[in-house]
């Protein structure tokens, strides 16, 4: 009976090891466990953009579960969620009824979800150096403002970083 149990355990290990390795390969080394109190973040991004992947890694490291949807043309998504002209960036996320456009820090997303202002979402227009996903080797952060987009499409400062 003991030999059977040992054999069964070894067979289970042989089947589990590849699955564990596959799961580990999909999870960034710096990822935190998913915080189940946070809603799912769906990120629409180009399959070719490396900084978008780094922003996804940042969000996962901060406890968010992230679903990635790759698309060649993000214009229809940006239009559907209401990104105003000149406020776009390289990727668009959706979280709990809000959009998150570009390299918005996870702490700002958490604040948005905590405070629940009447708004369309947050944006960091462009791709500021040092923002999440655009980190600089020397740690420098170009000053930038995270903007809150109100229901009428106007922008107002939500937070500032760098400088």
d(C-alpha 161, C-alpha 144), whole Å:
5
19's CB contacts (< 8 A; 6+ apart) are: none
pLDDT of residue 35: 84
The residues spanned by each domain of the chain are 48-161
What is the per-residue pLDDT across 69-105, written as a single tens digit (0 to 9) for each? 999 999 999 999 999 999 999 999 999 999 999 999 9
d(C-alpha 132, C-alpha 9), whole Å:
43
pLDDT of residue 6: 36
**Of 61, 39, 144, 147, which Cα lies nearest the Cα of 106?**
61
d(C-alpha 91, C-alpha 8), whole Å:
47
19 φ, ψ (degrees, to nearest 5): -65, -45
């Amino acid at each position: 009976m003991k030999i059977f149990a040992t054999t069964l355990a070894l067979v289970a290990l042989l089947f589990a090891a590849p699955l564990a390795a596959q799961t580990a390969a999909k999870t960034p080394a710096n990822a935190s466990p998913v915080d189940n109190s946070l809603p799912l973040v769906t990120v629409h991004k180009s399959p070719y953009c490396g900084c978008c992947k780094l922003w996804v890694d940042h969000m996962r490291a901060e406890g968010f579960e992230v679903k990635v949807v790759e698309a060649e043309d993000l214009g229809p998504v940006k239009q559907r969620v209401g990104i105003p002209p000149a406020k776009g960036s390289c990727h668009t996320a959706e979280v709990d009824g809000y959009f998150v456009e570009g390299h918005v820090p996870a702490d700002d997303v958490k604040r948005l979800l905590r405070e629940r202002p009447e708004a369309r979402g947050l944006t960091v227009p462009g791709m500021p150096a040092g923002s999440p996903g655009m980190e600089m080797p020397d740690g420098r952060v170009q000053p930038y403002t995270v903007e809150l987009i109100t229901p009428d499409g106007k922008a107002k400062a939500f937070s500032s970083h760098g400088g």
